[in-house]
A and B are shown apart, each in its own frame.
Chain A
Amino acid sequence: MGTCIESVVTTSSSSSIFRRGSLHLAEAAARACLERAARRPDELDLLVNTGVYKEKNMAEPALAAIIQEDIHANPGHPPRHGHHGTFSFDVSNGGCGCLTATHLADSFLRDGRIRLAMVVTADADPSPRSSRGFPFRPVAGALLLAHTSEPVGFVGHEFRTFPEFADLFVSRLDWDPAYHRMLGGHGGNVVEVREDPSFAARGIECAVNVAQSFLATAGLRPADIHLLVASQYPADFANSVAQALGVGSDLVAHARPQCRMAHTAGPMAALEAAAAARTFDEATNVLFVTLGAGITIAVALYRKRGRSPLCLSTSA
């Protein structure tokens, strides 16, 4: 029994004039993801949002609850008797949010108590006119996870932090009395992102360290990895990790150009591209490696057994 991926979709926004906020992007991704898997919204038991830079910097409720309402995933009461309804919450773990959420969802899906979960995420600069140093492209992603009775899917997650590098990537929201709004008034809450030039290099070192130890524990060699799905920020993270691990460059999943430099949706964008290119179909062992501030590294192994009706849809 396990947790397998049914579908993955990303959406992006390229227009800076008609800016789409993270909520709109996330909802579009969630709807398309369900549609691609031919699932109804009311089949969702669990909805976890992992975006860090949310619409209007909303602190409550969980953005997942708003997404749940807007995509009509059991929004009302009462849920049918004996039906779970949908439970929604947000998780924040920077670039490792996606794997944090798959780890949590896996614990509910594995024994079949729930049948369908979605990890949805979006990051868009909530205030592009005022924010400083915001490096991520506005991208949303949705990953649909299902219970499977077969011994496939996620077989291990590992997380490790390197707090000695905590200052290399810092983002916050702070009151700036010097900020002048267009329509008058003084001061504003301003998003500021500070990235040290060494963040990417240290992140790659940490990721390689964790991935090597993870593979050794799993009894796998780099040659056993058929596809590497990694964070898309920093830009050279995926290739550099693959090279250091000894995974062939042709086995690295790369997001389509509109989704490069995505933040929490990066691994989903890479997975979607691999699915479209059929490299996911051919893989048995898929290694996920993600990087977040902290420095936090998350690694997961996803194991397939050929193509299966419960595995990733590539119909797009």
Chain B
Amino acid sequence: MIESAERGHAAHVARFESVGVKLPERRLSTHELMASTRHPAHIDLEHLTGIRERRVCSEGEDSFTLAVDAAHDCLSRSHHQAADLDMVICASITRYRDGLTHVFEPPLSLGIKEAIGASRATSFDLSNACAGMMTGVFLLNELIAQGAIETGMVVSGEYISALGANAARSIRAVYSRQLASLTLGDAGAAVIVERSPDEKPGIAFAGFTTLSEHSRLCTGVPDRHGAGGRMLTRARTIHKVAMQDAPPLLKELLDERGLRITDIDWFIPHQTSARAIRTGMRVIGAELGGLPKHTVINCEEFGNTASTTHFVALHRWLTEGRFREGEKVLLVSLASGLEVGAILIAMDRLTKTHGNVH
């Protein structure tokens, strides 16, 4: 794995300063989605995935609006103004604006930074499938560590439920390569990463690698029969290779820091399905000789929100006041590519700035 600079070797350390989310109001239950399939599929998707419902965009909502609203939400909890941001990275897989029009140029990030007033920021779009936001954080952490920037935002808006709607037209059975599209839900998320003012490392370490021999196991392309895209996934194979290849990499990353998996207080995986996460945790337990104290599963209500899943979950747990200062939170990406990445954050005063709904 390419890893973040060791403390002591970097000029600065970085922390999460604020997390923001935008969830569409409209809810679509798995029951409703499965009732919309053109052919009788006889698939108990809720049983297979644990996903009861997902949020979906309504008229006037798309990747761009979700991203902008999430960025505003993030800024509303931040002590930074938009004008303070040195960099804005948009990590959406779906780059839909004005409905289902996919934007190539100018990049979506440019429109987002202008919409929020981050006029000084450098901006670009980043594609790394569902690891996009995590990759963006990895890059910001690096640029902050080297002193190239002080504050940046990673933002993503995923209007990805359209893939599910397209899949519902063609799915006939549980072995369909479009089955995973039915797990998708829409969300926007944003995170501000800043140079830690007291030099306490909120981001303790990060590491990423690409096991590209699996690069073609999940691909997303424009749909042939309508607007938006379609995603073709060899779901069982990708799950199998991820479970085979990711645990040793995680172990190596933790071992190098003298950490054990049991030292991790909160483990936030990519939210594909509750069942897949529970299976994955059993494998991690066996391979790494133990389990983290808690595993965050958030997809029952929101589905797989693609590049935003970690930050939708992090935001919810912050808002519900579940974290305590000093706890270790490990965010782990497994995404098409096959991208494997991990970011360890030491929970700090972020717990105080995100309220507590209880």
Among the 9-residue stretches A60-68, A201-209, A217-225, A234-242, the one with 4 or more Cβ atoms under 8 Å from chain B is A60-68
Q: Is A84 a contact partner of B2 (Cβ separation < 8 A)? A: yes
**Which A85-125 residues sit within 8 Å CB-CB of chain B?**
85-94, 96-97, 100, 103-104, 107-108, 110-111, 113-114
Of the listed stretches A51-59, A274-282, A306-314, chain B binds A51-59
Q: Which of B46-54, B97-105, B170-178, B291-299 contacts A (4 or more CB under 8 A)?
A: B97-105
Within residues 36 to 59 of chain A, which ones have a CB less than 8 A from any CB in chain B? Answer: 45-47, 52-53, 56-59
* Majority DSSP secondary structure for residues of B touching A: mixed
Contact of B212 with A174 in the complex, beta carbons under 8 Å: no
Q: Which residue of A lies closest to B95 (CB)?
A: A59
Interface residue? A161 (CB, 8 A): yes
A172 contacts chain B at the CB level, 8 A cutoff: yes
With A57-B222, A69-B212, A189-B223 given, is the CB distance from A171 to B135 under 8 Å?
no
The CA-CA distance from A90 to B210 in the complex, in Å, is 12
| A169 in contact with B106 given A59-B229, A61-B219, A89-B128 (CB within 8 Å) | yes
Contact B209 A61 (CB under 8 A): no
Q: Within 8 Å of chain B (Cβ to Cβ): is A170?
A: yes
Q: Is the C-beta of B227 less than 8 angstroms from some C-beta in chain A?
A: yes
Q: Which residues of A contact B199 (CB under 8 A)?
A: none
Measured CA separation A63–B216 after assembly (Å): 10
Q: Is the CB of B222 within 8 A of A66?
A: no
Q: Are B105 and A292 in contact (CB under 8 A)?
A: yes
Task: Decide if A60 touches B125 in the complex (CB within 8 Å).
Answer: no
Query: Which of A7-15, A27-35, A74-82, A253-261 is near enough to bind chain B?
Result: A74-82
Q: Pick the residue among B127, B220, B226, B245 that contacts A77 (CB under 8 A).
A: B245
CA distance A161 to B212 in the complex (A): 34
Q: How far is the CB of A188 from chain B (nearest CB, A)?
A: 8
| Cβ-based interface call for A316 (8 A) | no
Q: Complex formed: what's the CA distance from A189 to B93 in Å?
A: 17
Contact assessment for A68 and B249 in the assembled complex, using a CB-CB cutoff below 8 Å: no
Contact B336 A60 (CB under 8 A): yes
Is residue B107 contacting chain A, with contact meaning CB distance below 8 A? yes
Is A227 an interface position by the 8 A CB rule?
A: no
Q: Which of A88, A189, A292 contacts B212 (CB 8 A)?
A: A88
Contact B210 A172 (CB under 8 A): no
Cβ of A151 within 8 Å of any chain B Cβ, yes or no, is: no
B259 contacts partner chain A, Cβ-Cβ < 8 Å: no
Nearest-neighbor residue (CB-CB) of A47 within chain B: B210
CA distance A57 to B221 in the complex (A): 6
15 contacts between A and B (CB under 8 A): A59-B93, A66-B212, A69-B213, A91-B124, A92-B107, A96-B124, A166-B106, A169-B105, A170-B106, A171-B105, A173-B104, A174-B102, A189-B222, A293-B106, A296-B110
- List residues of B whose CB falls within 8 A of some A CB: 1-3, 5, 9, 93-94, 100-107, 110-111, 113-114, 119, 122-131, 135, 139, 142-143, 145-146, 148, 208-213, 215-216, 218-229, 231, 244-245, 248-249, 252, 335-339
Which A-B residue pairs are the 5 nearest by beta carbons?
Answer: A175-B227, A293-B105, A61-B336, A69-B212, A90-B127
